[in-house]
Chains A and B, each alone.
Chain A
Amino acid sequence: MNMIGSILFHLLLLFGLAPLLAGVIARVKAKIGGRTGPPLLQLYFDLAKLFRKRLVISTTTTWLFRAGPLVGFAVPLLASLLVPFGPARAPLSFTGDLILFVYLLALARFFTILAALDTGSSFEGMGAAREATFAILAEPTVFVVFIVLARVSGSFSLNDMFSPAGVAGFQGTAAIALLLVIFCLFIVLLVENCRIPFDDPNTHLELTMIHEVMVLDHSGSDLGLILYGAAMKLLLSATLIANLLRPDTGSVILDALAFVGLLLLVAVGVGLVESAMARLRLIRVPQLLVGTTLLSFFALILLLR
């Protein structure tokens, strides 16, 4: 796929497909719970409605409060330009872009946290503290996964690390390492996107929430930006997994279809996990995160053996 094509494919998936993943998750959860559930396109309707709504803004807040959603929307967009989307190569790619990828996500976290603290609400402060604290334990896993992939593919660029040629390096027993990496990436997806068992995006109890509590005060188009940004971040996380799983048929169209199918499959997986598990107690979350880091370490050991 040429450069224009891959940029278009990136933008199409980001803007077009991202809200659908949230719909798929909700639908799967509803089906398993024996409910009809919201329509698949519910998030699209919500976004359309929110962007038409007026804002209600607390008098305590400043420009920082408005900047949070904006950065939270722009960052997944930028970060996904560093990642290949199936057959579409990453539009921006250079040595060490994986470091930029991690720190771009940190940029979004920085602004989301500050926007939450800007409201002066104790609930949002609490959520902000949790977000910042759990990141300490989640970030190492991301790096271990990247180390494993970099070592196998022999490249420090996400484009090669997540390409079929890069993944092909997982030969023989190293295939177990690949499975571990995919599992860890799935956990990272759940953490970074505030899904059960780490956080519940649908909860209504402020005391227990992490991410959702940080955006309690946002409304109207700002909330729309946040939801859209969150959907794109989910897509981005799912992309990492789908890239590792996807087949390499040689045909661009087939590859693209398989890639989209895998993205939807990841969403179904998230829905299944959310249906099967309960939200963890807050103090269990760090333990699970440390456990995930250890698991990713095993992948590394398998590789270095």
Chain B
Amino acid sequence: MSNLNPLTLYQAAIILLLSGALLPLAAGRANRLANLLGACSALAGGGVGLLGSFSLLLGGAIVTWRMGWVSAGVNLCLHLDPLAGFFLIPVFLLIGSGALYATGYLNLPPRSWQGGRHWFCYNLLAASMALVLGAADSLLFLLAWEGMSLSSFLLVIYNLEDESARKAGWTYLVATHLGAAFLFFLFFQAYRLTGSTEFAAFEALRTLPVSGTVFFFFLALIGFGTKAGLFPMHSWLPEAHSAAPSHVSALMSGVMLKTAIYAFLRILTFLPPPPAWCGMLLAVLGLAGALFGVALATLQSDLKRSLAYSSVENIGLIFFGLGLWLYCRDGRFGGAALLFLAGALLHVWNHALFKSLLFFGAGSIVYATGTREISRLGGLLRRMPRTAVLLLIGGGAISALPPLNGLISEWLLYLGLFKAGQESGGGQAFVFMLLIILLAMVGALVLLMVTRLLGIALSGEPRGPESSRAREVGPAMLAAMSLSALLCLVVGIAPGWALKLVAAPLGLLTGGRLSGGGEVLAGLPFGPAWGWTSLALALFLIALLAWCFAGRPPDPGRSTWGCGFNKPAPRMSYTAGGYGQLAEEEVYCGCLRPGITSSRPRQLFPLRWQWRTRSVDPILVRVVAPFFTRAANLAGTWRRLQGGQLNIYLTYFFAATILLLGWAVYS
């Protein structure tokens, strides 16, 4: 495969995706045609791009391509290397499977503009994500970055009638542009120092003093961290990801967040190694985000919001690994640094796989039932057996259960922590131990979150009329989910292959200095024996289960035992709220408590009571919202300047002209 030209394939994929953005618009109101054109181009673009990125990653080639376009003021400069290839693979994969899913998921009327609108935004998002990963010029990068933000914003508000979606969309737009402001500043500073917008020239930043490095590090951290949903800049994420159509949620959660991680890593390659405390800060932020995200995920009543918070958790884990890598980069702790980096990079892939699977599955549930409320679901394992099995695989993978992919990346992170703890002494060892314990808590919390989500939504009796009507979804949606599930299994069973693919970007980021880490990676038990054993055991268990079913038939027709109560109603079964309550009351700190609104009747006779709990994000409510309210109030005082009368504006013009004249003369 490595003899294919990755650059040509990459360009072809971008052109296919861009044409996939424009052609459906040309189809006008004919939705079926728009669907066909949009989905086919996305699939073709995804496939071609996937081929190109694999050949890039396996071949290990570094390709640069330039095309000056003076009249447009753009310097089209692409740079493809194994790091870009590593991130391009999940991007192109999910572009394809998301498009496949969308053909089943979008319920379009025969004639409307919706189809064209959707595919325009979808393929534009796809093309700009791919371009972000390949761009090697600041302006091109920012252009693609902006295209990614805008097209995903339009997709978040795809359901224009849904007010909460519109609100989420605005929040997202504001947040992403606040982050982008830092990036503009970052690239402007880089331009000022190096005199070029091209990434290749940024190598000159290598000679920066420590203060300059820290400055750039923080600009990148805030700018890209906002986009990636790093705690505490994540508050836009749960809103936007739950409001978007499910395949878009999968794309945004699975890969769009990762483009920010890629860009962060890319900026790091231009800088001299930042001081170790920067790495520790990043790790602490990541772990705090992981704990915070997963704790809130166990409290959400909305299926997709819960998954979105789990994305905050996983992004936190990735940044945790990256931060520890930066902390140990100088080789103080043997091969630990490499384990952290490999774990974080592999988690990028793993999260793309299982989160897309879970969002697709959640989308199928929403499609079949019409509700995202977990406590109205139930009994779906019986009504949507295939979706349910695929969701269970995704749930197992995200909980890092063997033999699925999540375990592998967590294993690397744990092993790195153990190693670092072993190599260091005294207080430092204690810090690593503390991190291990917190990571273990994250793991147990994820299990709580997943069992709550899947156990309540899939098992038992339907808790609402919506879920009793549910039917299995169509083949396109199932195929998209199966692809992700299959890859979760493949990475889990043959982690050796995945680690081989991680090796190229790993070498690029560490500059070939593996410092004893090579043996560490080689010493991992992920050889063929691991694969065969886990495969054999999984098959054996499935066969045993089948054999159990083939055995003597059980006594038919009994309902679940209800302590002697013979008419158990679905309303008596456990709810999602109840499932998370014990953890909320006994384990979490008070700031995570959900807000309660109740209307207590004051009359004598029994009336309707209402009692609602709604989980609120403490960062959003206590930090972000007050800040913006205050900013809006402050801005409001300046509004008086806008009198709305012509003579006032003419006075402004006059005053400005005089001032400028004075300044021109004076200087």
A residues at B contact (CB < 8 Å): 54-64, 66-67, 70-71, 74, 78, 92, 94-97, 99-100, 102-104, 106-107, 109-110, 113-114, 116-126, 128-130, 132-133, 135-140, 142-144, 147, 150-151, 154, 156, 206, 216-217, 220-221, 283, 286, 293, 300-301, 304
Contacts and interface: CB of A to CB of B under 8 A. Distances in A.
B402 interface: yes
Contact of A126 (B407, B456, B555, B574): B574
Nearest to A53: B552
Nearest to B295: A136
Contacts of B561: 58, 121, 216-217
A70 B545 contact: yes
B524 interface: yes
Interface in B370-395: 378-379, 381-382, 385, 392, 395
30 contacts: A54-B552, A54-B554, A59-B558, A62-B381, A62-B459, A63-B545, A71-B541, A74-B537, A94-B525, A95-B525, A99-B415, A103-B400, A103-B402, A107-B396, A107-B401, A110-B396, A113-B447, A114-B392, A120-B379, A122-B573, A129-B452, A129-B581, A132-B447, A135-B444, A139-B444, A140-B441, A142-B440, A147-B433, A217-B561, A221-B548
Given A125-B573, A125-B578, A156-B418, A62 B443 contact: no
Given A56-B555, A64-B381, A121-B560, A129 B579 contact: yes
Contacts of A123: 563
B582 A119 contact: no
Nearest to B460: A120
B445 interface: yes
Closest 7 pairs between A and B when the two form their complex, measured CB to CB:
A125-B574, A120-B460, A117-B455, A94-B525, A55-B554, A118-B459, A58-B560
Which of A59, A60, A300 has the most B CB atoms < 10 Å from its CB? A60
A66 B549 contact: yes
Interface string B426-452: 110110010011001101110110111
A61 B557 CA distance: 11
A288 B433 CA distance: 21
Contacts, number: 228
> Chain B interface mostly helix, strand, loop or mixed?
helix
Given A62-B459, A128-B455, A133 B448 contact: yes
B578 A126 contact: yes
Contacts of A92: 533
B161 interface: no
B568 A133 contact: no
Contacts of A56: 554-555, 558
A86 B345 CA distance: 39
B572 A122 contact: yes
A61 B437 CA distance: 36
Contact of A57 (B459, B555, B568): B555
A106 B558 contact: no
Contacts of B552: 54-55
B461 interface: yes
Contacts of B572: 122
A221 B556 CA distance: 16
A110 B451 contact: yes
Contact of B555 (A55, A74, A78): A55
B537 A78 contact: yes
Contacts of B548: 66, 70, 221
Which of B419, B451, B562, B563 has the most A CB atoms < 10 Å from its CB? B451
Contacts of B512: none
B162 interface: no
A258 B421 CA distance: 34
B455 A150 contact: no
Contacts of A95: 415, 523-525
A138 B440 CA distance: 10
Given A70-B544, A128-B455, A216-B561, A135 B447 contact: yes
A130 B448 CA distance: 10
A74 B402 CA distance: 13
B592 to A, nearest CB: 14
B459 A114 contact: yes
A92 B534 CA distance: 13
A187 to B, nearest CB: 16
A96 B524 contact: yes
B430 to A, nearest CB: 6
A128 B544 CA distance: 24
Contact of B451 (A113, A140, A283): A113
Contacts of A113: 447, 451, 455
Given A117-B460, A301-B430, 6 more contacts: A54-B555, A60-B560, A110-B396, A110-B401, A120-B568, A139-B444
Given A120-B461, A143-B436, A304 B425 contact: yes
A80 B26 CA distance: 64
Nearest to B427: A304
B418 A300 contact: no
B414 interface: yes
A121 B422 contact: no
Contact of B586 (A121, A206, A286): A286
A99 B339 CA distance: 14
B460 A74 contact: no
Nearest to A140: B437
B176 to A, nearest CB: 33
Interface in B10-43: none
Contacts of B461: 60, 120
A107 B549 contact: no
B454 interface: yes
A119 B548 CA distance: 18
A137 B17 CA distance: 48
B301 interface: no
Contacts of B459: 62, 64, 114, 117-120
A60 B6 CA distance: 53
Contacts of A125: 455-456, 460, 573-574, 578-579
B443 A70 contact: no
A25 to B, nearest CB: 27
Interface in B154-193: none
B559 A60 contact: yes
B570 interface: yes
B81 interface: no
Which of B444, B537, B562 has the most A CB atoms < 10 Å from its CB? B444
B198 interface: no
Nearest to B425: A304
A109 B570 CA distance: 24
B113 interface: no
Given A117-B460, A129-B579, A156-B415, A304 B429 contact: yes
Contacts of A119: 459-460, 560
A60 B460 contact: yes
Which of A117, A118, A151 has the most B CB atoms < 10 Å from its CB? A117
B422 A300 contact: no
Contact of B441 (A60, A122, A136, A304): A136
